[in-house]
Amino acid sequence: GAVVSQHPSWVICKSGTSVKIECRSLDFQATTMFWYRQFPKQSLMLMATSNEGSKATYEQGVEKDKFLINHASLTLSTLTVTSAHPEDSSFYICSAPPPSGIEQYFGPGTRLTVT
Amino acid sequence: DAKTTQPPSMDCAEGRAANLPCNHSTISGNEYVYWYRQIHSQGPQYIIHGLKNNETNEMASLIITEDRKSSTLILPHATLRDTAVYYCIVSPTTSGTYKYIFGTGTRLKVLA
């Protein structure tokens, strides 16, 4: 079936630095991808919708200048956490619906730890 | 806000059927019911979806009430590998392009 990958699977960065997370659809093209954040023992929280060829749509309360999203191609979306702080430490997950699909495919997630 | 409510946790004996309920009393006529599960520290995995008819696939069965205000996911013979958090989501299309709003889910523990 359709596969969505994320890179890296885990990353540790220092406070104040930026980190980029990639989300790729491996065998289908995705004009739309979604980014979620999940804190320990909590549910997934939608952060933004990534749109190929246009600006991302952010959910209320998500800082668009802090979480930069770029849908570079039909198979790649990136999330850059800028000036990361310890409270940004979380599990970041992306998803993508295939063009003729019914469900969405989720990536395996990226665990970010900011020290 | 999520449009679904689920019990926070359930236990099920291995080999028995696991019945996971979901309330979606404000569901609209064009909204489908989706079920996903998330095994610890992984991305969610699609299980099944339906509109108004009951559905079955190799993983599970989905029973939707006639008024569509609630549904039940049935894992017919639960195994230890079915231990996960199960999410019920309503979404207005089957194209998958509409965003998902996750509720709190049900943490299912399958007991040996």
Nearest by CB to B43, which of A97, A98, A107?
A107
Interchain proximity A102–B43, CB inside 8 Å: no
Which amino acid would we find at residue A112? L
Task: Scan residues 37-96 of A and list those with Cβ closer than 8 Å to B.
Answer: 43-46, 49, 91, 93, 95
Q: Is the pLDDT of residue B94 over 70?
A: no
Q: Which residues of B touch A106 (CB under 8 A)?
A: 36, 43-45
Radius of gyration of chain A (CA): 13
**pLDDT single digits (tens) A1-60:** 669 999 999 999 999 999 999 999 999 999 899 999 999 999 999 999 999 888 999 999
Chain B residues with CB under 8 Å of A97 CB are 95-97
Query: Using the beta-carbon criterion (under 8 Å), do B43 and A108 form an inter-chain contact?
Result: yes
A103, A105, A109 member nearest B42 (Cβ): A109
The candidate with the shortest Cα–Cα distance to A33, out of A2, A66, A67, A76, is: A76
Peptide bond into A8 cis (omega under 30): yes
| Burial (0-12, 13-18, 19+ Cβ within 10 Å), A92 | buried
| pLDDT at residue number B79 | 97
pLDDT for res B16: 97
Task: Burial-class residue B78 by CB neighbours within 10 Å (0-12, 13-18, 19+).
Answer: buried
Q: Which residues from chain A sit within 8 angstroms of residue B62, using beta carbons?
A: none
Show the 3-state SS of A22-33. Answer: EEEECCCCCCEE
Express each pLDDT in A98-115 by its tens digit.
Answer: 877 778 899 999 999 999
pLDDT at B98: 78
Residue in B96, B99, B105 closest to A103 by CB: B96
Q: Is the pLDDT of residue B14 over 90?
A: yes
